[in-house]
Structure 1
């Protein structure tokens, strides 16, 4: 019988709230790469394409940051307009901090040196309500967003390390395992 891989507890994000009371999740990752290399993985589209191709942004305060999960459907489905989030870059402080915000979301990447590598602290707002997407058969909830960001940050780390990985979509085995870990974390 194949042993299931467990999600390390320390890799799970920590739930909290922003100053306005919106739910958030914060991840802290120690990466074996210098700050400049991780900054490039976050802000340079050629490097970001390996782990987060859905994000396009112009690297300056006031510019647009667009997160597009519509898979090329233009315009995005009226049933699920959340597939495309048009945000604004609110902080661009190379190579340490990037923040962008939209109507219902705020994301922050913060990098500091840590030994020979760097510490990444990533924080994102979470949905306050759960929404079922009939088309994809998925639930947009704090758990799905948490495991989605968890997976994206894992993919960034693997990309930086040169380790092979596959994007598995909304419901692959890695995402199911993460989803269950986040559900169990609530108990």
Structure 2
């Protein structure tokens, strides 16, 4: 399911919703544990898991950008800066598993925005597959979602 993308006062907001057949603690470990994090987002490493802490993004050229952890509630909320934007994961227990919501607050739509949106979509698919003991072909999935998010961004920006 596509993220819901909307125009808001501060720019745009993309909200992804997933029900996972796994407990909150297990899902949380994929978001914050440096042993599991690279399995779905190889460039990210949590340096200091605390509000005001740091996530490092490997730029692939030997340098790292530091992203600030803006809010942290263990097994519930993990929000960090994403350069000019923010990314927020919200987890809650549900019958038979958990609810995972990812919210990206986007300051300005750029040519890169559909790439990021497709990337987050596939990241969530990969987390779910890992939890389920499955594998997915990331590049092929990304291509499909990139086109769809490009179309969605066009719709939202034309409103």
Q: 1:182 aligns with which of 149, 152, 156?
A: 149
Distance 1:52 1:92 in 2: 19
What's 1:109 paired with?
Answer: 89
* Residue 30 in structure 1 maps to residue 19 in structure 2: yes
By how many angstroms is 1:158 displaced? Answer: 0.7
Equivalent position of 1:135 in the other structure: none
Instruction: State the match for 1:121 in structure 2.
Output: 101
Q: 1:62 aligns with which of 31, 36, 52?
A: 52
The two structures have a TM-score, normalised by structure 1, of 0.74
RMSD (CA atoms): 2.0
Distance 1:155 1:127, change over 3 A: farther
Q: How many Å apart are 1:150 and its aligned residue?
A: 0.4
Distance 1:22 1:85 in 2: 23
Structure 1 residue aligned with 2:4: 14
Preserved CA contact (<8 Å) 1:86 1:102: no
Report the number of matched residues. 153
Contact 1:92 1:98 in 2 (8 A): yes
- Gaps spanning 5+ residues in structure 1: where? 1-10, 76-83, 132-139
In the other structure, the counterpart of 1:152 is 123
* Distance in 2, Cα, partners of 1:152 & 1:127: 21
Unaligned 5+ residue runs, structure 2? Answer: none
Deviation at 1:126, TM superposition (A): 3.2
Instruction: Compute the TM-score of the two structures, normalised by the length of structure 2.
Output: 0.85
1:50 pairs, out of 24, 39, 42, with 39
- 2: CA distance, partners of 1:49 / 1:103: 20
Tell whether the 8 Å contact from 2:122 to 2:138 is kept in structure 1 after alignment. no
More helix per residue: 1 or 2?
Answer: 2
Report the CA distance between 1:17 and its aligned residue.
4.4
> Which residue of structure 2 lines up, in the alignment, with residue 74 of structure 1?
62
